[in-house]
Amino acid sequence: MKGITAGTMANVLKVNEQNSIQQLVTQGWSRRRIARELNLDRKTVRRYLEAAAKSPTISTPGSPEPPESKSPLSTPGEKGDVGLPMAMLEVEAGRPSLCDPHRQCIDCKLDAGLSAQRIYQDLVSAARTRRLPEEAREGSIASVTNFGPLGITWATPIPLPNETLIVGLGRGEKRPVWDEASGQFKPVSMAELTITFDHRIMDGGASGRLIQRMVTLLASPDSL
């Protein structure tokens, strides 16, 4: 079989959509980004690219069968000038995703018709009720280390190679804090929190908000 018509796919792609997909793939765009940019279903984009990699040519309904010398993708009245090697189709733009270890599970849920937002909400709900499956608890992105028991009040923890940030908790101690109501210093138990993070992933503002949130929760543990 030398050609696969676009009509064999669940959703027929227009010629301009096929051309756009070709161009964006050669620029290193991921399937997710292409689908979002062209307002297409991601499964349709994936099926189109998989068909392009497996078949010598892809043509729209009614187009003549192109010669063998043409590009792997062609449209009526045009000569294909953009090839799509299989290796290129498998490359996702940017750094590897933290979701890669769970890609099979996520793809199954997407194929079942669940949206990315729904998958995320299900994971959050499972985490809060301590029902996360074993595979979802692997590949952590953050850690907490407590060096207070060692008598250390402050230190700079280093994140693990596969993690984005680490929070360090120092030894608690009584410190004098000025109290406006009484007009005098009062002893207050305090401890140092230190955050070390990968600046390629997050900036100082996000890390500052994280620390503020942690301080608020630790100051009122009943709200946890």
In angstroms, the CA 98 to CA 163 distance is 10
In angstroms, the CA 177 to CA 175 distance is 6
Question: Alpha-carbon torsion 68, 70, 75, 78, what sign?
Answer: negative
Contact 210, 195 (CB under 8 A): yes
- Neighbouring residues of 52: CB distance < 8 A, sequence distance ≥ 6: 58, 72, 73, 84, 89
Q: Which two tokens stand for residue 86?
A: 């299989």
For residue 187, the model assigns a pLDDT of 94
CA distances from 16 to 13, 22, 222 (A): 8, 10, 58
Residues of the chain with pLDDT under 70: 1-12, 54-99, 101-102, 135-139
For residue 11, the model assigns a pLDDT of 54
Phi and psi for 53 in degrees, rounded to 5? -75, -30
For residue 139, the model assigns a pLDDT of 66
CB under 8 A, 24+ apart: contacts of 83-92: 84/22, 84/25, 84/26, 84/49, 84/52, 84/53, 85/53, 86/53, 88/25, 88/26, 89/25, 89/49, 89/50, 89/52, 89/53, 91/28, 92/30, 92/31
pTM across the whole model: 0.40
For residue 50, the model assigns a pLDDT of 81
For residue 173, the model assigns a pLDDT of 93
* Matching residue, tokens 């018709």: 113
Question: Alpha-carbon torsion 48, 52, 56, 62, what sign?
Answer: positive
Rounded to a whole number of angstroms, the CA Rg of the chain reads 27
Domains and CATH numbers, the chain: 3-94 (1.10.10), 95-139 (no CATH), 142-223 (3.30.559.10)
Question: What count of residues does the chain have?
Answer: 224
For residue 96, the model assigns a pLDDT of 63
Q: Report pLDDT digits (tens) over 139-198.
A: 678 889 999 999 999 999 998 887 889 999 999 999 999 999 999 999 998 999 999 998
Fill in the DSSP letter of residue 176.
E
